[in-house]
Every structure is written in C-alpha cells, then in structure tokens.
Amino acid sequence: MNREQIDKNLRDAATTPTSFKETTTTDKTLPSELTTPSSKLVLVDSVHTLPVDYVPSTLKDDIYLKSTSEVIPIDEETGNKAKEMMQAANDAGISLYVVTGYRSYEDQQKYYTSRMELLNNSEDAKKQVQAAGCSEHQTGLAIDFTDDPSNAQPTTDFGKTDAGKWLYEHAHEYGFILRYPEGKEDITGYNYEPWHYRYVGVETATAIYEQGPDTTFEEYFNINTNENK
Ligand code: ZN
C-alpha cells in the first residue's frame, strides 16, 4: 500500500477525536487519530500504551448486554453496536456472551500479574496477555466474547466454534475487527485471540475486512511493527 492510499484510508476513517490532549505515545510519526486515547482508531499495543489515569468519558455500565457478569462497562457506541451484532447472531441461531468490555488500568495490572503467574512468567506468556496500559480493554472499545457463559477464559478453540466463525465473518458489518488474527503474531505482537474484537466503526472495519479477513489494523494503517517482534 502506498502513502497516498494510507492517507486516503485515514481520511475515509474520518473519526473526530474528542480530545487531542492525551496521547498514547511519543511516536510523532503517527497521525493523531491513531494516538489519541479517545479516538475510535487509537492504536494500543506493547509500544503504544495508554496513560495510567486514562478512563474513557463515554463509558456506560451496560446492564442489557448478555454477558457472563451482571454489568459490563463499555464505550456507549461500542456497546450499542455489540448489542445489534449479538441480536443478529442470535437470529442466526448463534449464542454469544460478552466476557469483558472495559477494564481499568489497575484491573489490567491485577489481571496481568495473575495470568503471568499462571503461565509461569514465560516469554511466550507476554504474547498471551497484555500488560497494564497495553490493553485495548482500557479504551472501552474492545470486547471478549464466548459462546459458553460458564467459561470466562476463552481459548483458541473458540475460533472453531459456530460463534467464533460467525463473528469472523460478520463482525465487520457492525464495526468490529478481529484484532489478533492467526499467523499475524509478529505484526500485532500478540498471539491469535479469536475471542477479542475491537470496535473501529463500520466503515473502517469493512475496509479492513475487504482487504482480507486476517488483515491487521497495523497492516491497514501501514504501522511500523518492528518493535512488536
Ligand atoms: Zn480481550
């Protein structure tokens, strides 16, 4: 993809961040749409991290999302689109539950510590769980799904279930992308997570999907991912 196409993709994305004050990164080579935490297109990974005190202003405790817990805090637009998507899945005979929406920096820190301990702090574990500040869940724009409400920790097998397959094929229609596709670990910096979907808006999600269902956010916006390797 050439520079012109990338610029066009960014213009087409046309998200207007509500605040330009905070940035995720000192990386001045990236456009502000990708570095502003409140932007729908914010890039969050092990290099581009969120401020410790960042809490989205659009968070809503959604009591109507079908989930494994009673209340899911989530970005309001993301929650509404998720509900629309889950309804469509339900109409197609697919059962989906939300495991996690927004997770605070502190909660991510606790989650990271406990998961790392469970995984014996191995090098590979770092590709399986995001450290605090590195998790898209802190943006309120990411959702982990399961088809089994008794299973709060989905595995890669989820990708082979009807629910996993349905999401893979249809999530973009509701503005969600598969954020960590299979075989793209070197680009995203994280292992395949068929349960983790990231809201970017219908237009961008569809454009990414149309370049191939395993196209990564990084590839679409031509982000230098050498640091993720
Ligand atoms: Zn997740």
Q: For position 22, what pLDDT does the model report?
A: 45
> Cα(147)–Cα(129) distance, rounded to whole angstroms?
21
Residue with tokens 């990338």: 6
Separation of CA 102 and ligand 1 centre (Å)? 9
Please give the sequence-ordered ranges of beta strands (E in DSSP) within 15-121, or none if there are none: 59-62, 72-75, 97-100
- Among 221, 215, 157, 213, which residue's Cα sits nearest to residue 184? 215
| Cα–ligand 1 centroid distance for 85 (angstroms) | 17
pTM of the model: 0.86
pLDDT at 1: 52
User: How high is the pLDDT of residue 124?
Assistant: 86
Cβ-proximal residues to 18 (8 Å cutoff; 6+ apart), any chain = 38, 57
Please provide the DSSP assignment of 67-93 as one string: BSSS-EEEEHHHHHHHHHHHHHHHHTT
Q: What CA–CA distance (Å, rounded) separates 68 from 219?
A: 33
In a structure prediction context, what are the per-residue pLDDT tens digits for the chain, which is 229 residues long?
555 665 666 655 544 333 333 445 556 678 999 999 999 999 999 999 999 999 999 999 876 667 666 788 999 999 999 999 999 999 999 999 998 999 999 999 999 999 999 999 888 888 899 999 999 999 999 999 999 888 778 899 999 999 999 999 999 999 999 999 999 999 999 999 999 999 999 999 999 999 999 999 999 999 987 655 5
pLDDT of residue 175: 98
Distance CA 38, CA 33 (A): 9
> How many angstroms separate the CA atoms of 123 and 159, rounded?
24
Q: If you measure from the C-alpha of residue 143 to the centroid of ligand 1, how many angstroms do you get, rounded to a whole number?
A: 6
Q: What share of the chain is helix, strand, coil (3-state, %, to 5)?
A: 40, 10, 50
pLDDT of residue 21: 34
34 CA to centre of ligand 1 in angstroms: 19
Cα(224) to ligand 1 centroid in Å equals 22
* 17 alpha carbon – ligand 1 mean position (Å): 23
Q: Which residues are catalytic?
A: 193
- pLDDT (0 to 100) of residue 153: 82
CA of 2 to the centre of ligand 1 (A): 31
